[in-house]
């Protein structure tokens, strides 16, 4: 990603990222958003609150980085969507091979409001705040910092799930959300479109964590593992070329 905000220092990027994260998490626990997170009124109230917050953060980001409007694509890019979907499915290759088709095809949630949150509105809002807006603030701090710090903030944004997950479950969730944050950031930086990490986010929410126990219990587990390893090798070699290939246009270095 080209440096779009040379006037934003490292310390400002850190403070802004932390502020964005605190605002995002605290908005979920405002008095009118309290209660069971899976109740329909709470889901809708939180989505409205987060939508308003994301709008204000977008306005702030555009004001802080006036050059970004013409530099980064927010629109739908079908090639980028296809590449992001293919790459993400490669990461699930072993899981997809070993898991019974009936289990894969079962809807993860039969409640349409929970599905709306988990597979559409939630991924959109999280990708807008933790990828698009945060990464633009970090655009002049180097690729490594742009990948790691926003991913850490995305991971920490899930700390409030400790009551429902327990400590071990929370640590596991924070670990994979951190790794996903790095992956999603790399997709956004390479493809230069918001839609790539969004579709990856939806797929990951649908498939959840890969079920390694089903791979270990599969009667042909050696073959499954061999195919899984091959898929991971293909992912490693294909990620850079494919994501670069679908860039909407070349950015000028400022």
Model confidence over 178-224: pLDDT tens digits?
999 999 999 999 998 889 999 999 999 998 888 777 777 888 888 88
- The answer to whether the beta carbons of residues 43 and 117 sit under 8 Å apart is yes
Which of residues 126 and 103 earns the better pLDDT score? Answer: 126
**pTM beyond cutoff 0.95:** no
Q: Is the dihedral of CA 168, 173, 174, 180 positive or negative?
A: positive
Query: What value, to the nearest 5°, has the Cα angle with vertex 160 and ends 158 and 163?
Result: 120
Q: Looking at residue 31, what DSSP letter applies?
A: G
- Taking all residues of the chain, what is their mean pLDDT, rounded to a whole number? 87
Question: 189 phi and psi, to 5 degrees?
Answer: -65, -40
The pLDDT tens digits of the residues spanning 134-174 come to 999 998 898 999 999 999 999 999 887 767 778 887 888 89
The burial of 185, by beta-carbon neighbours within 10 Å (0-12 exposed, 13-18 middle, 19 or more buried), is given as: buried
Closest CA to 21 of 119, 166, 149: 149
């Amino acid at each position: 990603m080209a440096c779009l905000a040379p006037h934003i220092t490292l310390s400002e990027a850190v403070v802004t990222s932390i502020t964005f994260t605190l605002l995002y998490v605290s908005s979920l626990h405002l008095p009118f958003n309290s209660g069971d997170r899976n109740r329909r009124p709470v889901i809708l109230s939180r989505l409205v609150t987060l939508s308003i917050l994301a709008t204000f953060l977008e306005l702030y980001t555009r004001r802080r980085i006036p050059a970004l409007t013409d530099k980064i694509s927010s629109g739908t890019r079908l090639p980028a969507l296809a590449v992001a979907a293919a790459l993400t499915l490669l990461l699930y290759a072993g899981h997809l091979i070993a898991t019974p088709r009936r289990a894969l095809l079962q809807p993860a949630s039969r409640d349409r409001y929970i599905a709306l949150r988990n597979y559409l509105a939630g991924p959109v809002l999280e990708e807008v705040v933790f990828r698009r807006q945060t990464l633009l603030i970090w655009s002049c701090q180097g690729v490594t910092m742009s990948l790691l710090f926003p991913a850490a903030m995305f991971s920490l944004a899930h700390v409030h799930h400790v009551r429902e997950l327990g400590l071990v479950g929370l640590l596991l969730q924070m670990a994979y959300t951190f790794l996903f944050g790095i992956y999603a950031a790399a997709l956004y930086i390479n493809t230069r479109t918001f839609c790539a990490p969004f579709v990856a986010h939806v797929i990951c929410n649908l498939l959840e964590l890969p079920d390694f126990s089903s791979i270990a219990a599969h009667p042909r587990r050696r073959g499954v593992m061999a195919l899984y390893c091959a898929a991971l090798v293909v992912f490693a070699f294909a990620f850079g070329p494919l994501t670069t290939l679908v860039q909407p246009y070349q950015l000028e270095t400022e």
